């Protein structure tokens, strides 16, 4: 029986899809779970997986080892043909453990955790992927920012005097003999993105995708994180680095783009909200756990927050009596930022095709 290609893969909720596509020993329970996960966008997911596997000339049916730590990665590399990593490091120590390795695939495009020189010297190809799901998250963030700036959730469908009055507005026509008629509804509080300051906490891959789009709206993009980016990346993206307190004090828009972890839990607490510019709008398409929920509600009540948008709730599904639903300047969506599912699937098409080609050279 011919030896199967061995892939060592950093464990992630999405990289587990590779097991469905390439591992013939994958348990049926997992296959069924992912078929259900993709069903609303890709009802033919299992056919998709089969067809993608059949296009491979070199990967074929693979042996896969999923790892969660640096130690597990090194231990699994001894007979690996390729490694797929996201946040784990890959350098000289890993290369020494991997005599057969031909490629390292970054599940993303920022390669700061990979020693590119060491890989080049060992003739190990480094492949990258600009993830479509990350791009979709950035689009969700910009959609929410625009919706808050233009008060879209409050104004949607309010096109008659009666509807506007029922919503608490006081529409009245202008004297058209002398004036334009724009905003005859007399809605205040509309803002422009142009020239405003957006503060991004966490300038990883999604943070950078958001920054690119914010710059397209001529926003001033500032950021903070534990490790400052290199000067060239800051220049290329038009970024300015600030410490957290300074960023909170001057941001018109605040976007925490952070993972849920003990180090980020409740980073934006009551004390942090006291440091924020009054009227700041907070948009979160990452994880709610980096914010203290009671602090968010208090900031909405006092006007410290001029608007709030959240895609991934503190607990899912949400509850019908959620206090946040009572605020007109709040947008809540049910974990939609990475959608549609084809974003992730097309990422895997690119990843698998790239690895298949590399292992054939």
Q: pLDDT-derived band of residue 1, with 50, 70 and 90 as boundaries?
A: low
Q: Give the DSSP per-residue string, 188-239.
A: -----STT-EEEEE--SHHHHHHHHHHHHTTPEEEEE-SSPPPHHHHHHHTE
Q: In what order do the strands lie in the sheet with 197-201?
A: 239-241, 220-224, 197-201, 253-256, 280-284, 305-310, 330-332
**pLDDT value at residue 319:** 94
Identify the pLDDT of residue 178: 94
User: What whole-number distance in Å separates Cα of residue 154 and Cα of residue 180?
Assistant: 23
| CA within 13 Å, CB half, 317 | 3
Do residues 137 and 206 touch, judged by C-beta distance below 8 A?
Answer: yes
Asked if 343 contacts 43 with a C-beta cutoff of 8 angstroms, the reply is: no
pLDDT digits (tens, 9 = 90+) for 36-78: 999 999 999 999 999 999 999 988 789 999 999 999 999 999 9
Token output for 32: 């069924």
Residue-wise pLDDT for 282-327, tens only, equals 999 999 999 999 999 999 999 999 999 999 999 999 999 999 999 9
Q: Are 150 and 114 in contact (CB under 8 A)?
A: no
Q: Which of 293, 137, 116 is nearest to 210 (CA)?
A: 137
Helix (H) or strand (E) holding 118: helix 116-121
pLDDT value for 48:
96
Number of H helices, E strands in the chain: 15, 12
* Sheet with strand 63-67: strands edge to edge: 63-67, 6-10, 82-85, 103-106, 125-127
Sorted by sequence, the CB contacts under 8 Å of residue 181 that are 6+ apart come out as 173, 174
Mean per-residue pLDDT for 121-126? 97
Q: What is the pLDDT of residues 157-211, one digit of tens each?
A: 999 999 999 999 999 999 999 999 999 999 999 999 999 999 999 999 999 999 9
| Opening angle at CA 88, ends 83 and 89, nearest 5 | 85
Phi, psi (degrees; rounded to nearest 5) at 193 = -75, -30
Question: For 138-164, how does the pLDDT look when each residue is reduced to its tens digit (9 = 90+)?
Answer: 999 999 999 999 999 999 999 999 999
Strands of 27-87, DSSP E: 63-67, 82-85
- The full set of domains in the chain, from first to last, is 6-129 (3.40.50.720), 134-151+189-332 (3.40.50.720)
Whether residue 144 contacts residue 219, with contact meaning beta carbons closer than 8 Å, is answered with no
Q: Residue 24: what pLDDT?
A: 85
Q: What percentage of the chain has pLDDT greater than the value 90?
A: 94
pLDDT-based confidence at 2, cuts 50/70/90?
Answer: low
């Amino acid at each position: 029986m011919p030896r199967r290609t061995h892939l060592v893969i950093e464990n992630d909720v999405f990289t587990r899809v590779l097991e469905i596509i390439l591992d013939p020993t994958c348990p049926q329970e997992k296959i069924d779970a992912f078929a259900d996960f993709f069903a609303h966008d890709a009802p033919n997911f299992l056919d998709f997986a089969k067809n993608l596997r059949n296009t491979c000339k070199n990967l074929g049916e693979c042996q896969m080892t999923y790892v969660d730590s640096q130690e597990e990665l090194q231990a699994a590399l001894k007979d690996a043909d390729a490694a797929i990593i996201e946040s784990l490091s890959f350098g000289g120590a890993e290369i020494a453990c991997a005599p057969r390795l031909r490629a390292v695939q970054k599940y993303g495009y920022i390669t700061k955790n990979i020693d590119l020189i060491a890989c080049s010297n060992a003739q190990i190809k480094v492949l990258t992927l600009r993830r479509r799901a990350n791009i979709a998250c950035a689009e969700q963030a910009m959609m929410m920012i625009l919706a808050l700036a233009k008060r879209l959730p409050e104004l949607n469908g309010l096109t008659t005097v009666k509807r506007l009055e029922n919503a608490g507005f006081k529409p009245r026509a202008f004297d058209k003999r002398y004036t334009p008629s724009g905003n005859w509804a007399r809605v205040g509080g509309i803002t422009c993105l142009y020239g405003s300051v957006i503060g991004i906490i966490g300038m990883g891959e999604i943070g950078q995708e958001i920054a690119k789009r914010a710059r397209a709206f001529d926003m001033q993009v500032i950021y903070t994180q534990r490790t400052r980016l290199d000067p060239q990346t800051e220049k290329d993206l038009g970024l300015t680095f600030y410490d957290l307190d300074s960023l909170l004090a001057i941001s018109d828009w605040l976007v925490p783009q952070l993972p849920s972890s003990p180090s980020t839990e409740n980073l934006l607490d009551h004390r942090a909200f006291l440091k924020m510019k009054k009227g700041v709008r907070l948009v979160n398409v990452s994880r709610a756990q980096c914010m203290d929920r009671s602090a968010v509600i208090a900031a909405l009540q006092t006007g410290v927050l001029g608007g709030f948008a959240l895609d991934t709730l503190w607990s899912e599904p949400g509850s019908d009596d959620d206090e946040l639903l009572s605020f007109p300047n709040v947008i809540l969506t049910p974990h939609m930022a990475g959608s549609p599912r084809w974003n992730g699937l097309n990422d895997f098409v690119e990843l698998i095709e790239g690895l298949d080609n590399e292992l054939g050279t």
